[in-house]
Chains A and B, each alone.
Chain A
Amino acid sequence: QERQSGRRRKRRRRSGDKKEKKKKHQRRRSSSSARDGREERQTKKRESSKKQREKHFKERTTERNEEEAQTSSVKATKTNKNINNEKTRKTKTAERETEKRNEKKMDKSPKTIERKESEGKNTDKSKERKKHKKSEEDKEEQEELDKEQEEVRSECLSPEELEKLKEAVDERKKLIQSLRVKPWPMKKKLVSLRESQEFVEKYEGALGKGKGRKIYAYKVIMTKKWMKFERDFENFKTTLIPWEMKIKEIESHFGSSVASYFIFLRWMYGINMILFCLTFGLVMVPEALMGRPYGSIPRKTVPRAEEASAMDFAVLWDFGGYAQYSVLFYGFYNNQRAIGWLKFRMPLSYFLVGVGTVAYSYMVVIRTMARNANESGIGDDNSFNFSWKMFTSWDYLIGNTETADNKFASITTSFKEAILEEQESRKDDNIHLTRFLRVLANFLVLCCLAGSGYLIYFVVRRSQKFALDGLENHTWWERNEVNMVMSLLGMFCPMLFDVISTLENYHPRVALQWQLGRIFALFLGNLYTFIIALMDEINLKRKEEMIVKYNITTWENSFNGTVSENSTATPISLHPADVPRGPCWETMVGQEFVRLIISDTMTTYITLLIGDFLRAVLVRFLNHCWCWDLEAGFPSYSEFDVSGNVLGLIFNQGMIWMGAFYAPCLPALNLLRLHISMYLQCWAVMCCNVPQERVFKASGSNNFYMAMLLVILFLSTLPAIYTIVTIPPSFDCGPFSGKNRMFDVIHETLESDFPVWFSKVFSYASNPGLVLPFILLMVLAIYYLQSTSKNYKEANVKLKKKLQMQNEENKKKNKRAALKAQMDLEEARKASSQQKHVSPRRHYYSKNGRNPAPPVGDRSLRRSAPRTYQHVNPGPPGYLPGLPRQSETRMHRVPSLQRH
Chain B
Amino acid sequence: GAVNMPLDQLSVDAVKTTPFERRFNPYDFNGGTTVAIAGDDFVVCAGCTRMSTGYEIQSRNQSKLFALTDQTVLTAAGCMSDVTTLRRMLGARLTQYEHSHAAAMSSSAVAQLLSVTLYYRRFFPYYAFCMIGGLDEEGRGAVYGYDAVGSFKRDDYGCMGSGQNYIMPILDNLIGHKNRLDEKKSFTAEEVVAIVKEIFVIATERDIYTGDSVEIKVIRKSGISTEVFPLKHD
Chain A bound to chain B: no
Which residues on A are within 8 Å of B, measured CB to CB? none
Which residues on B are within 8 Å of A, measured CB to CB? none
